[in-house]
Amino acid sequence: MFHVKLFFHYFMQYLKIRMAYRSDFLVQLATDLLFQAVNLVFILVVFSHTTELSGWTREEVIFIYGYFLVPFSFFSAFFNLWDFNERYIIKGELDRVLTRPAHSLYQVILETMTPESLTGAVTGFMVMGWAVKEMEVDFSWYDPFLFILFVAGGAAIYAGIYILLTSISLYSDSKTDIQPIMYNVGNYGRYPINVYNRVIQLVLTWVIPFAFVGFYPASFLLDKERWMTFALLTPLVGAVWLMLGVAVWNRGIRNYRGAGN
């Protein structure tokens, strides 16, 4: 309960800051929406040239792509840890966080969240909507619930992986370039996995499981015959990775060396 309230208060604070620069905020929101619109057109144009991709119809590929945007936007909104090293380690803001009575990672997440990234989810829904309209899909009554579970699992996988990578800064003060690489790897989860070779498929499933973020659950939602086991594993894989990330973070905090040297 405390954590929920805290989230709410940080969120209000965030809104206040954004509202203080109301015009900036509106401009940014408009930019975001425009960006998403361009993104949408881009997706449709790019995929309109493909008719079929390793046994996947164009509409299916587009649906998977659109689905992926939903967990991804939740991840981007609440795990905006890109400049953690710069801001919290080098500038030393982590010292301040550590003198406050709440979990350090939770505080960092609350301080860095960018809820406007959720506009990506809107695009995702529009893309999925378009694909579904073209396709004739039988959805069952429990699909919305599965959808929520899958999205939570997918966002948790992303979060876990990025928390783990971010924690590296707590152990070593040297800069790493892993995050942008991981960002690119993450994009592989947006496409049907069997277009890749065997090794990449295994990696995306068992090593850095981005396939669970987009592909497995989305293709399962389209057709219950496919990838059922993998799809249903999504929440579990998410929980495991999130716990792993948090555990590595907690260990890392014990190694933290303090600001200003």
Of 226 and 257, which CB lies nearer to another protein in the complex structure?
257
Q: 131 with 48: CB under 8 angstroms?
A: no
Coil, strand or helix: which one is 196?
A: coil
Query: Residue 17 binds which one of ligand ADP, another protein, none, with CB within 5 to 8 A depending on kind?
Result: another protein
Smallest distance from another protein to CB 74, Å: 24
Q: Give phi and psi for 57, each to the nearest 5.
A: -75, 165
Residues making contact with another protein (CB under 8 A): 2, 5-6, 9-10, 13, 16-17, 92, 95-96, 98-103, 111, 174, 254-261
Q: How many CA atoms within 13 Å lie on the side-chain side of 170?
A: 22
Question: Are the CB atoms for 208 and 183 separated by under 8 Å?
Answer: no
From the list ligand ADP, another protein, none, partner contacted by residue 256 (C-beta under 5 to 8 A by kind) = another protein
Q: Please give the size of the binding site for ligand ADP, defined by CB under 6 A.
A: 3
Question: In the 8-state DSSP scheme, what is residue 88?
Answer: I
The amino acid that residue 43 corresponds to is I
Decide if residue 92 touches ligand ADP (CB under 6 A).
no
Q: Residue 128 CB, nearest distance to another protein (Å)? A: 37
Of the pair 31, 255, the CB lying nearest another protein is at 255
Residue 197 binds which of another protein, ligand ADP, none (CB < 5-8 A, kind-dependent):
none
Whether 117 contacts 154, CB under 8 Å: no
CA–CA gap between residue 202 and residue 187 (Å, rounded): 16
Restricted to residues 242-261, the positions that interact with ligand ADP (CB under 6 A) are 257-258, 261
